[in-house]
């Protein structure tokens, strides 16, 4: 497949994917640290500039078409939901537990594959997107199990807090999945020689 304008990843979108993946990695590191509360606050401090960068991405992607704008917006939402999850955990003193860690790890893997795919976007990118999609499906399955476990908890307040954190991470995963689907569409349209991104 010859690369067309539709299938050449804009540098700005590739950078946004790298930023989102880096945020997910730092979020996982914060959860795994001995001082998770301090780690989450540090994560939020370091993420402010990145969120500004992500929020400006759609305008930069506009020059190459609406499909890339959709991918950019999805990556921006990933960053927003990650920051919201970290903020909720820090403000409510929610300690990381097995479901939080698993959801974060799956999101990290998903975004890592997406960033790698965008760094070398082209005919062979589909396999990376398939792997990212599989991580996204597993993330949503873990979310359903986590939500069910929280509902069974006898500690009502803690359960409510955890469910909100789980929801935030699920929303981040759904946004990442939307970015993956957008990239798959762009590749498919490139193979057909069409696409709204022209």
Does residue 45 form part of some domain? yes
Does residue 197 form part of some domain? no
Task: State how many domains the chain has.
Answer: 1
Does residue 38 form part of some domain? yes
Contact by Cβ (8 Å): 121, 133: no
Does residue 198 form part of some domain? no
In angstroms, rounded to a whole number, what is the distance separating the alpha carbons of residues 168 and 88?
Answer: 9
What's the domain range around 55?
8-192
In angstroms, rounded to a whole number, what is the distance separating the alpha carbons of residues 116 and 43?
Answer: 23
Q: Which of 18, 2, 16, 43 is nearest to 115 (CA)?
A: 18
Instruction: Give residue 66's pLDDT.
Output: 84
- Which residues, 6+ apart, have CB-to-CB distance to 144 below 8 Å? none
Does residue 106 form part of some domain? yes
Q: Is the pTM of this model over 0.85?
A: yes
What CATH number does residue 112 fall under? 1.20.58.220
Question: Going residue by residue through the chain (198 aa), what tens digit of pLDDT does each one get?
Answer: 344 445 567 788 889 999 999 999 999 999 999 898 899 999 999 898 888 888 876 666 555 678 888 999 999 999 999 999 999 999 999 999 999 999 999 999 999 999 998 887 776 778 889 999 999 999 999 999 999 999 988 889 999 999 999 999 999 999 999 999 999 998 887 666 654 443
Does residue 2 form part of some domain? no
Q: Which of 12, 108, 16, 21 is nearest to 54 (CA)?
A: 16
Secondary structure, 3-state, 50-108: HHHHHHCHHHHHHHHCHHHHHHHHHHHHHHHHHHHHHHHHHHHCCCCCHHHHHHHHHHH
Does residue 80 form part of some domain? yes
Does residue 113 form part of some domain? yes
Q: How far, in Å, are 5, 34, 43, 113 from residue 107 at the CA level?
A: 29, 21, 16, 10
Sign of CA dihedral 187, 188, 190, 191: positive
Q: Is 95 left (phi over 0), alpha (psi -120 to 50) or beta?
A: beta
């Amino acid at each position: 497949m010859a690369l067309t304008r539709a299938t050449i990843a804009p540098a700005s979108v590739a950078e946004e994917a790298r930023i989102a993946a880096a945020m997910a990695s730092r979020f996982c590191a914060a959860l795994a640290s001995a001082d998770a509360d301090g780690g989450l606050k540090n994560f939020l401090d370091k993420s402010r500039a990145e969120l500004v960068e992500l929020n400006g991405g759609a305008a930069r992607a506009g020059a190459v078409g609406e499909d890339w704008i959709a991918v950019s917006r999805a990556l921006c939402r990933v960053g927003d939901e990650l920051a919201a999850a970290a903020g909720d955990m820090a403000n409510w003193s929610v300690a990381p537990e097995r479901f939080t860690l698993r959801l974060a790890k799956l999101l990290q893997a998903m975004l890592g594959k997406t960033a790698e795919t965008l760094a070398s976007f082209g005919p062979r990118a589909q396999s990376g997107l398939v792997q990212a999609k599989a991580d996204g499906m597993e993330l949503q399955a873990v979310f359903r199990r986590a939500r069910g476990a929280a509902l069974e908890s006898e500690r009502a307040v803690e359960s409510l807090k955890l469910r909100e954190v789980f929801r935030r991470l699920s929303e981040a995963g759904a946004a990442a999945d939307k970015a993956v689907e957008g990239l798959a569409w762009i590749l498919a349209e490139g193979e057909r020689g069409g696409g709204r991104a022209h």
